[in-house]
Amino acid sequence: MKGYAMLGIGKTGWIEKSYPKYGPLDAIVKPIAVSPCTSDVHTVWEGAIGERKDMILGHEAVGEVVEVGELVRDFKPGDKVIVPAITPDWNSLQSQAGYSMHSGGMLAGWKFSNFKDGVFGEFFHVNDADGNLAILPEGVDAAAAVMLSDMVPTGFHGVELADIQFGDDVCVIGIGPVGLMAVAGAALRGASNLYAVGSRPNCVKIAREYGATDIINYREGDIVEQIMEKTHGKGVDRVVIAGGDVDTFIQATKMVKPGGRIGNVNYLGSGDYVKIPRAEWGCGMGHKVIAGGLMPGGRLRMEKLVTLMQTGRLDTSKLLTHKFKGFEKMEEALMLMKDKPKDLIKPIVII
């Protein structure tokens, strides 16, 4: 079968691979719609997780079940399914401890385009199908539902990590697709003043539509100064980091109030150390909590999140700025994600 792969750090191309093997609990799925992720860009062009050879890319998909193992109970060939980017081993000790995303080791719940072939193939393997697939409900658009694989759960996890409460003043740093979903999630969680940091005009427009009350342009001056000015020197209760780099933690620490929380979901592709400013961190005593996490995956989360689309509380279709038709367009879509033209939020490939 064919797939679009990482051939090595900085190199991608089409490859031939054998049809995936599967065990009694697993499923084989063929993609219906897929989207590339900024994480694929970190993985290939920054070599952020190290060398990977001939590994099919992609971890965001809605697909159709082709085959299931003999012990799979709830899915059968022909079912249309949402496939989360993170597919934990649900019987692992890490899952039992509440950190399924780290089942099998740190970040090892993230399997597609990390430890095994991803979803940019004609077929792909899903471990623990009953725990990791969710039926795509009738009436939910497959392309919009691809955003449930990664963008929605990641952005929302930033909100969970920051533990946003009703009436909190919140700053979301970065309003690419992940940050936009953090803005939407923060609004659903009851943020009051919701500051969104970014510069691309269409991201800014959509951030407002998802609930941002103020836009902070990081290209037009220090974001800490801008936040301090808007909050009359008080700072914000919560920060979600969904963009920037290792230095962004300096700004986040400075702008959050004592007792505040910073939730990071940004994948730090480069830089050896994350920087925390000593004095603004209260010399280590400021009760400014910094939490960073990989999104939770699995079936229950997918089933719950899709209900937000069904009830009209979340419209993910706004993220889909570039639409492609045909399997072979995966290459073009990934390159677009790498080059990030100004009007891009997310490309989608419908197969």
Positions touching ligand NDP (CB under 6 A) are 37-39, 42, 150, 154, 173-179, 197-200, 203, 218, 242-244, 248, 265-267, 294-295
Is 87 a residue that touches Zn ion (CB under 5 A)? no
Among 6, 34, 37, 159, binds Zn ion (CB under 5 A): 37
Binder of residue 267, out of ligand NDP, Zn ion, none (CB less than 5 to 8 A by kind) = ligand NDP
Binder of residue 178, out of Zn ion, ligand NDP, none (CB less than 5 to 8 A by kind) = ligand NDP
The span from the CA of 104 to the CA of 93, in Å, is 8
- List of residues 6+ apart from 96 with CB closer than 8 A: none
Partners of residue 171 on adjacent β-strands:
195, 239
- Kindly give the residue spans of alpha helices, DSSP state H, lying in the chain: 38-45, 93-96, 129-132, 142-145, 151-162, 177-188, 201-210, 223-230, 248-255, 299-310, 330-339
Binder of residue 189, out of ligand NDP, Zn ion, none (CB less than 5 to 8 A by kind) = none
Binder of residue 329, out of Zn ion, ligand NDP, none (CB less than 5 to 8 A by kind) = none
* Choice between 37 and 183, CB closer to Zn ion: 37
The span from the CA of 109 to the CA of 87, in Å, is 6
**Which span (28-36, 38-46, 123-131, 223-231) binds Zn ion, by CB under 5 A?**
38-46
Residue 301 near residue 132 (C-beta atoms within 8 A): no
Cβ neighbours around 176 below 10 Å, total: 21
Shortest approach of ligand NDP to residue 293 CB, angstroms?
6
Among 79, 124, 150, 155, CA closest to 297? 150
Among 12, 35, 39, 266, binds Zn ion (CB under 5 A): 39
Binder of residue 33, out of Zn ion, ligand NDP, none (CB less than 5 to 8 A by kind) = none
Site for Zn ion in 136-165 (CB under 5 A): 150
Query: Please, what is the end-to-end C-alpha distance for the chain in angstroms?
Result: 15
Shortest approach of ligand NDP to residue 40 CB, angstroms?
8
Cβ neighbours around 317 below 10 Å, total: 13
Contact residues: Zn ion, CB under 5 A:
37, 39, 150
